[in-house]
Amino acid sequence: MKKIKIALFLLSVSLISCNDYTDLGPNPNQLNADLATPDQYLSAAQTLSYSTQASTMERLGLLFSNACGGNVQSYAAPFNDEFSMNVTSIFYKSIWENLYLRAGVYQKVIDYNDVNSEYKEFKAIAMIGKVYDMEYIVDLYGDAPYTEAFKGINNITPKYDDDFEIYKKLFTELDNARALIDDIAAGTYPNSTAKSNSYDMIFGGSMASWKTFANTIELKMLLRMSKCTGAAGTYRDQRLASMVANGNNNFISTDVTIQPGFSDSRNDTVNPLVYNFGWDMNANPTNYNVYAASGHFIKCLNPYTNVNYASASEQEIVAGSGINYPNVNDPRRLSIFTSPNGQRGVTQGSVFVDVFKPGGSTTGQPSKLAGYFFNPYNQTGTGATNPTLSTGNIFAGNKGYVMTVAESYFLQAEAAHLGSVNPSFAALGLNAASSFAAGVNASMSFYNATPGTYLTTINAKPNFGYNSTFTFSENYNAIMYQKWIAILPSNAIESYIDNTRTGYPLNPMPKNSSYTKRPNRLIYPSSEYISNSANVPNVGLGDIFSVNSKSPFWLQ
């Protein structure tokens, strides 16, 4: 495993003043790891964790969920590795490395010797934050170091644990966090009360909100396990029953956001989503011109009259599926991608702009990410207008979205939908149709779009709307389809994982791929094969495209 030493923490986390939590530059002389207290770690851990979600994880999600193509008008063969499925030990290796580094910072808070019981709130928050990060390690890689991880120089070659066993330990972490929150609320630790308010960049120290978020994370993990049988299936059902028995079947009803002081004062204080997919502190494009709307996405959100279909057969999403694009004018389409003379897309793997309105041409720029992708709810009051050199980076200071309420509603919709085949999910007492509608409406608000009659229209279309007359599969695809659209700017990696575990929503392969599906997992990073070679499992291309013992346990 990559050597996660205290020195690495010092390179990532400096003492942070209450008014500049994004000041994460290296200053090893400023922080003694042995003397640092949780208030000097927590906000840094949260900010760095979000940065990973809003950068490499978001990029992989946008590409593997087929929301974005490459801007072939400006770059030669952009994202060729992603579209050809050239997955190696250096492919997105920073996801593994950064998630472990961030989880390690949370572990420093958890392990702190709190002799005066001053930091119980910090510890509960850190447990939940660590679970949030480590779940993705399992979901994207399977087996991983856990019981021997986070030991610093005391163990730089930790063993790999079975991924199902890691999941169980993560559930225990959530239990411990909720129990600690209950004890704090009961007055057991008076020295800890409200201590985290100024350092918690997500909920401002609201322990009730953290408990509800922990419940939502647990629901997400149990949904990952929805197809498990045997011991894992039994364990899942026991956890679901425990949620009901302990009153933990309530979930977030507002967006989970982070605001550590993002601003345009420096490049490293710009909101990471804005910086990685848009512009620097001065509104110079960073990667804005690399991304284009995928042809698939344009077809999903536009009526047939807006797309240059050569024949009716091209309206089928995946050849042989019998399912055509929905043929709707989705109100969110212009909030997500621009419309240069009509929306124009690049089918993944295409070498030219190949999706446009009838009568258009392949010349000219494709649709790019629009303002509300970066500016949900019109936070700045400037609408969908993207930053320019004259306006400056007006989106730089926008808050980040860790989990949107729309994502929560679609998790609840999926759980309720599964309740029709699994009584353990039904016991949560959720309603699929109402949760689905709430998710769509929340997504409309997020993108500052006017829903009009969209929900009524889409609920008459199998695979895209939810209707009691549709089949189980049609409604399942609809939940995942709407979730895919809803979470694009906040957590696109979820849609890739959702498609891996459920097969929904339908997602065509890139033109230049010789594979019939995307990988079920990623390959361990080269840093593991170099520094922890005695323990890291040998995983190759032959292992990641089939279901086998090296797949995430919930897929086996």
Tens digit of pLDDT per residue, the chain (556 long)? 332 233 234 334 433 333 333 333 333 234 455 568 999 999 999 999 999 999 999 999 999 999 999 999 999 999 999 999 999 999 999 999 999 999 999 999 999 999 999 999 999 999 999 999 999 999 999 999 999 999 988 999 999 999 999 999 999 999 999 999 999 999 999 999 888 999 999 999 999 999 999 999 999 999 999 999 999 999 999 999 999 999 999 999 999 999 999 999 999 999 999 999 999 999 999 999 999 999 999 999 999 999 999 999 999 999 999 999 999 999 999 999 999 889 999 999 999 999 999 999 999 999 999 999 999 999 999 998 999 999 999 999 999 999 999 999 999 999 999 999 999 999 999 999 999 999 999 999 999 999 999 999 999 999 999 999 999 999 999 999 999 999 999 999 999 999 999 999 999 999 989 999 999 999 999 999 999 999 999 999 999 999 999 999 999 9
First to last CA, the chain: 25
Q: Note the pTM of the prediction, 2 decimals.
A: 0.94
Question: Using CB atoms within 10 A of its CB, is residue 187 exposed (0-12), middle (13-18) or buried (19+)?
Answer: exposed
Measured between alpha carbons, how far is residue 21 from residues 90, 101, 119, 201 in Å?
Answer: 31, 18, 19, 8
The residue extents of the domains of the chain are 6-51+84-259+519-555, 290-367
What does the alpha-carbon distance between residue 63 and residue 67 come to, in Å, rounded to a whole number?
Answer: 6
Q: Two tokens at 266?
A: 């420096």
Paired tokens of 532: 């922890």
| Contact of 207 with 185, CB cutoff 8 Å | yes
* Predicted local confidence at residue 8, as pLDDT: 35
SS3 of residue 81 by DSSP: helix
- Tokens 């998630």 identify what position? 99
* Interatomic CA distance for residues 308 and 343, integer angstroms: 11
Is the peptide bond prior to 505 cis by the omega test (within 30 degrees of 0)?
yes
Per-residue pLDDT, 544: 98
Architecture of domain 6-51+84-259+519-555: Alpha Horseshoe (1.25)
Contact 512, 349 (CB under 8 A): yes
* CA–CA distance, 200 with 63 (Å, rounded to integer): 32
**464: nearest Cα among 478, 475, 453, 483:** 478
Which pLDDT does position 269 carry in this prediction? 97
d(CA 519, CA 88): 11
Q: In terms of DSSP H, where are the helices of 311-404?
A: 333-336, 371-374
Distance of CA 269 to the CA centre of its chain: 21
DSSP state of 40: G
Place of tokens 């890739």: 496
